[in-house]
Amino acid sequence: MARRRTVDEHAGRIAALVGPSLARHETEVLPLAGTLGRVTSEPVTTAGPLPPFRNAQMDGYAARSADVRRTPVVLPVDGVVPAAASAAQTLEEGHLLKVMTGAPVPEGADCVVPVEQTAEEDGGVRILRPVEPGAFVREAGSDALPGTVVVPAHTHLAPRHIAAAAAAGVAEVVVRRRPRVAVIATGAEVVPPGAPLALGQVHDVNGVTLAALAQEAGAEVALVDLTPDDPAAFEQALLRAVGAADLVLTAGGVSKGDYEVVRQVLEPLGADVTEIAMQPGGPQGFASVRGVPVVCLPGNPVSAQVSFTVFLRPLLRGAVGLPLIPAVPMPLAAALHSPKGKRQWLRGVVKAEGVYPVGGAGSHLVVAMAGADVLIDVPAETDFVGAGSTVSVLPL
Amino acid sequence: MARRRTVDEHAGRIAALVGPSLARHETEVLPLAGTLGRVTSEPVTTAGPLPPFRNAQMDGYAARSADVRRTPVVLPVDGVVPAAASAAQTLEEGHLLKVMTGAPVPEGADCVVPVEQTAEEDGGVRILRPVEPGAFVREAGSDALPGTVVVPAHTHLAPRHIAAAAAAGVAEVVVRRRPRVAVIATGAEVVPPGAPLALGQVHDVNGVTLAALAQEAGAEVALVDLTPDDPAAFEQALLRAVGAADLVLTAGGVSKGDYEVVRQVLEPLGADVTEIAMQPGGPQGFASVRGVPVVCLPGNPVSAQVSFTVFLRPLLRGAVGLPLIPAVPMPLAAALHSPKGKRQWLRGVVKAEGVYPVGGAGSHLVVAMAGADVLIDVPAETDFVGAGSTVSVLPL
């Protein structure tokens, strides 16, 4: 038998095919309130200084520091500067103006005396302690000068970035468009969720699951289709999908059986379908249709999930600026046996003492996989790993 | 001066007020495809067995193991069982039926001979190696028996849970309704995003930022309102908010100034507004209006973000089943000074060697905060922490 392609080789080919399509970085303009979790395409800058004007850091009295150097002293209060002052005020020598936190500090004043350091008196306010020049005054531009980048390009927008953009008065932000992913699940035996089952039929798992995986990896799901093992129907779905998406995922139809619709339609178009030396996984492939990458995943729901996680999750997350989810070393809590020749991705559950393999190797064990939280990566040449050994696990 | 309330005391009061409102756990029914990231209210069970019928694990030939115990042997092939068989077939003794992966294994057959272990011949197929009873057959119910819980209640739904529910044929799932949060930002000086600024005016930061923080913590944003320092306008916004939300957040209007609209309206309704011994933070409070908790955050955008993160984020994330974000110990990479008497939450940036304080303590430094990734928690009684000491940091 021809040597099977390794996981790393296949990952490299998928990345070479899919990467450029995801890297196209089309942009869209969104109102600031709709940008949480999106990635900036351009830096956000502030046109004016932040804060926009010199303002009080405390509720208290704007003063000339020369007047409040020797204390106690009683000074007359000329009025109040409210938070929203509509015109510049000027503080006369030897006087005070009351200010609220955030209010403009009037011309002439160079400090704010906190209200806690004062006492009201007939004819004015007693300043109890001396105040330094500049005290409790926030200078205009002390957070950011005009033209400052307040959120760099390629930032994954968290609330604090939205806060900085809002402070800069920005109403709309240019963000990277999410990659659009289309999913086509195939199989004559597959029926939609909730439909009754005849003998030999199963409910669709791949359509809804690959859509959820793509969404979780930061993509927008352009469409989910379900086609029987009929080349014409699959071809129709495929053309719809490549017209709507930056990446098309198919599930099923790439095995050695007699009704392998994905292979039948895509191999004449140059698809590369081959056996990958991994389990679950098996035969899978890729093609480019009208310039859009099509990745052909196995039809088995566990194999499809594992293959997505290994081959596509890093590419999508990378493209949208989400942090990658790296494999981590971890002690194996219970010994495991593994068939030689294929790299195994066993489902595992992490506990304090390490990771336990769960649910067996069968790639039909969808419920067992729901109870797992990691994939245990067992190299192809390994047939036994003892308890306490370190294994590499990939968080789900 | 009266003793200021500590962070832990205030957190306890907020939890006592807000917790029951968020714990009400109203539910909604969603189509499975819309449930990613939601939390199940009820377990999802499978009515039938999974897999629903005995099926082939490989492409190959269904056989009676008694017929393939001694090999090589050539047996006639009676036809093909396609993946979607519409009626039960029976395998005659001494015969084979071709099967594709996932197809029903016919009555009488008790094993599948993988196609790789066969060769086609005139008059039939040669079986090259003996096959054990049960080999390459997935029994009905081997993943889950009828009535099995395939996704427990209170599960934060990841794609693999959606896969298990889909396999069970479930079209709709009962999930916890997201808590609805309303935000009211106050301040006569505050103008909406993008509006031009007159002297003394600033752009709204709190409305859009608190909405983003609530959304990030798993809540649904019911409304965001912006009111001037006018009690009638604030009261109107408040009534709209308590009618629409499970939790109302206000920003500003709780300080010691003359125009403190939140205090003016809420204190007659029993609000508890007090100085918290934290920085940024200062005066803040809470009330219950028509049975809906109202949490009054400071108006300063950095203080509002820090207070939300300390007091509300854990409650919201806990209520929606998102993992909590615990404080973690970390070496301090550069010495810091801190005023005594108030617990400080300094903005910090994490690098390989530890956490660096950034941007200074000023609570107007919104842009500086955007560049931080953690809050450094400095106890009230501490005025200096040396480089290399361990500090507690709260990831943003």
Mean pLDDT across A97-125: 92
Q: Is the pLDDT of residue A362 over 90?
A: no
Q: How confident is the model at residue A275 (pLDDT cuts 50, 70, 90)?
A: very high
Q: Of B158, B204, B369, which is closest to A166 when you measure between CB atoms?
A: B204
B258 contacts in chain A (CB < 8 Å): 80, 82, 98, 100
Average pLDDT along chain A:
93
What is the reported pLDDT for B65? Answer: 95
Chain A residues touching B205 at Cβ < 8 A: 163, 166-167
For residues B172 and B162, give the distance between their C-alpha atoms in angstroms, rounded to a whole number.
11
Q: Do A46 and B213 touch (CB under 8 A)?
A: no
> Residues B249, B315: contact at Cβ < 8 Å?
no
Nearest partner of B103 among A336, A332, A199, judged by Cα: A199
User: What is the CATH code of the structural domain delimited by A7-13+178-320?
Assistant: 3.40.980.10
Q: Taking CB atoms and an 8 Å limit, are B370 and A161 in contact across chains? A: yes
Query: A229–B83: do the CB atoms touch at under 8 Å?
Result: yes
Residue of B nearest to A301 (CA): B163
List pLDDT tens digits, range B354-368. 999 998 777 789 999
The residue ranges of every structural domain in chain A are 7-13+178-320, 27-49+142-176, 55-138, 328-395
* Backbone region of residue B141 per phi and psi (left: phi > 0; alpha: psi in -120 to 50; beta: other values): left
**pLDDT tens digits along A171-195:** 999 999 999 999 999 988 899 888 8
pLDDT at B137: 95
The answer to whether the Cβ–Cβ distance between B299 and A101 falls below 8 Å is yes
Phi-psi region of A359 (alpha: psi -120 to 50; beta: other; left: phi over 0): left
**Nearest-CA distance A370 → chain B (Å):** 5
Contact (CB, 8 A) for B321 and B383:
no
Residue A323's Cβ-count burial label (10 Å; 0-12, 13-18, 19+) is exposed
Residue B83's pLDDT is 67
| Cα distances (angstroms) measured from residue B340 to each of B279, B281, B382 | 11, 15, 6
The pLDDT assigned to B1 comes to 44
CB–CB contact A166 B46 (8 Å): no
**CATH superfamily to which B27-47+145-176 belongs:** Molybdopterin biosynthesis moea protein, domain 2 (3.90.105.10)
Which CATH superfamily is B328-395 part of? MoeA, C-terminal, domain IV (2.40.340.10)
Is the pLDDT at A1 greater than 50? The verdict is no
Task: With beta carbons less than 8 A apart as the criterion, state whether B283 and B273 touch.
Answer: yes
Looking up tokens 């617990």 gives B343
φ, ψ dihedrals at B301, nearest 5°: -60, -35
d(CA B59, CA B100): 4
CATH number belonging to the domain at A27-49+142-176, selected among 3.90.105.10, 3.40.630.30, 3.40.50.1100, 3.30.420.40: 3.90.105.10
> What average pLDDT does the segment A351-361 reach?
89
The third-level CATH classification (topology) of the domain covering B7-26+178-320 is Molybdenum Cofactor Biosythetic Enzyme; Chain A (3.40.980)
Examine the pLDDT at A286 and tell me if it is beyond 90.
yes
Planar angle of CA A384, A388, A390, nearest 5 degrees: 75
B112 burial (CB, 10 Å; 0-12 / 13-18 / 19+) is buried
Contacts 24+ apart (CB under 8 A), A29-33: A29/A172, A29/A173, A29/A174, A29/A175, A30/A172, A30/A173, A30/A175, A31/A171, A31/A172, A31/B193, A32/A162, A32/A165, A32/A166, A32/A170, A32/A171, A32/A172, A32/A173, A32/B193, A32/B208, A33/A162, A33/B208, A33/B211, A33/B212, A33/B224
Q: Could A187 and B84 be called an inter-chain contact, meaning their C-beta atoms sit closer than 8 Å?
A: yes
Does CATH number 3.40.50.300 belong to domain B55-138?
Answer: no
* Predicted local confidence at residue A86, as pLDDT: 65
- pLDDT tens digits, A289-310: 999 999 999 999 999 999 999 9
Distances (CA, A) of B263 to A100, B270, B274, B333: 15, 10, 10, 41
Name B81's Cβ contacts closer than 8 Å, sequence gap at least 6: B56, B62, B89, B97, B98, B99, B100, B103, B104, B105, B106
HEC readout, B67-78: HHCCCCEEECEE
- pLDDT of A327 > 70? The answer is yes
Out of B98, B148, B203, whose CB is closest to A167? B203
The alpha carbon of residue B81 is apart from the nearest alpha carbon of chain A, in Å, by 10
**Which has more pLDDT, A282 or B336?**
B336
User: Which of A83, A172, A255 is opposite residue B101, by nearest beta carbon?
Assistant: A255
Amino acid in the structure at residue B64: R
Q: What is the pLDDT of residue A83?
A: 67
**Ranges of chain B with pLDDT below 50:** 1
Q: Taking 70 as the threshold, does the pLDDT of residue A383 lie above it?
A: yes
pLDDT in tens, B14-64: 999 999 998 877 899 999 999 999 999 999 999 999 999 999 998 899 999
pLDDT band at A2 (very low <50, low <70, confident <90, very high): low
pLDDT at B104: 92
Q: Taking CB atoms and an 8 Å cutoff, what residues of chain A touch B169?
A: 193-195, 197, 203
Which candidate in B154, B175, B202 is best for mutational testing of the A interface (most A CBs within 10 A)? B202
| In chain A, % of residues over pLDDT 70 | 97
What are the tokens at A200? 């030999």
